[in-house]
Structure 1
Amino acid sequence: MESYTAVKHLHVTAAYLSIIFFVLRAFWSVSENSVLNARWVKIAPHIIDTALLAFGVALAVMLNFWPLPGWLAAKIVALVIYIVLGTIAIKRGATPAIRAFFAAVAIIVFAYILGAANQHSALSWLAAM
């Protein structure tokens, strides 16, 4: 189980890095800061999110999650929604106000994903009530 714990910690660390860097990029997008066009800013999220996904898949394999439990399937659907919202928030939103709105909604979806993972329920944080 030591390898499971290490992979889980790496997955959680990548998740926190992902949301921190998303918030930073969303701020730069809304404030129309040119640092958003820097090469490292465009590459870093792909590295972080690839690690996040790889560690998540590794955990699912280690725990023999097939068929997927409902909470994990809900988490994956929410991840796709988060990605779509994030692209609007960072680069596809026509105005800073639109980008800010979609960034806020993406953060809410990310919070749902964390809740689904922590509670092992598609109800996310509501399952704790």
Structure 2
Amino acid sequence: MSILIESLQAHYPLIKNVHIGLVSASGALFALRALAVQTGAAWPMQAWARRLSVVIDVGLLTAGASLWTLLGLNPLRDVWLGTKLALLLLYIVLGSIAMKRGRTRPQRLLGLLGALAVFGFMVTVARAHHPLGLLAG
């Protein structure tokens, strides 16, 4: 395990930048797909679009887990990380409503707006390393 940690430490700046880039790509792709769903477009639910989203999100989770391991973070001890993970679950639920679970267009729109708000707040929690994110001061 120490070889893994040493390898991660040597590549910390790269892993962090990949993580940030994948956060941006994931959020942008979600927003684009969900907005397209609002207009009635079919492409957001096509296999290639869903697969691209999965590939980006798997990379994002891998980079995030690498940083978590490297930095020795614990979501029960490091409350900001626990908050971010709880917000991630809420983002997934709201995103699902925005993309397919919402039965009506207004429900899907509320899911989209909620998901984007949660996504934005998650970014502030991550940047501030505080569970209140930008509200921390």
- Does the pair score TM above 0.5? yes
Flag structure 2 segments of 5+ consecutive residues without an equivalent: 1-8
Contact 2:16–2:63 (CA under 8 A) maintained in structure 1: yes
Q: CA deviation at 1:122?
A: 0.1
Equivalents in 1 of 2:122, 2:18: separation in Å? 17
Equivalents in 1 of 2:77, 2:32: separation in Å? 32
- What letter matches 2:130 in structure 1? S
- 2:23 matched residue in structure 1: 15
The TM-score with structure 1 as length reference comes to 0.94
Report matched runs for 1:73-112 at 5 Å.
73-112=82-121
What's the % identity of the aligned pairs? 31
> SS state of the match for residue 32, structure 1?
coil
Q: CA deviation at 1:68?
A: 4.2
Contact 1:79–1:113 (CA under 8 A) maintained in structure 2: yes
The TM-score with structure 2 as length reference comes to 0.89
Residues paired across the two proteins, number: 128
- Higher relative contact order (Cα pairs below 8 Å, separated by 6+ residues): 1
- 4+ long deviations beyond 6 Å: none
Equivalents in 1 of 2:57, 2:69: separation in Å? 18
> What value does the CA root-mean-square deviation take over the aligned residues?
1.2
Q: CA deviation at 1:36?
A: 2.0
Equivalents in 2 of 1:112, 1:120: separation in Å? 12
Equivalents in 1 of 2:131, 2:115: separation in Å? 17
Q: CA deviation at 1:2?
A: 4.8
Contact 1:11–1:52 (CA under 8 A) maintained in structure 2: yes
Q: Does 1:5 align with 2:13?
A: yes
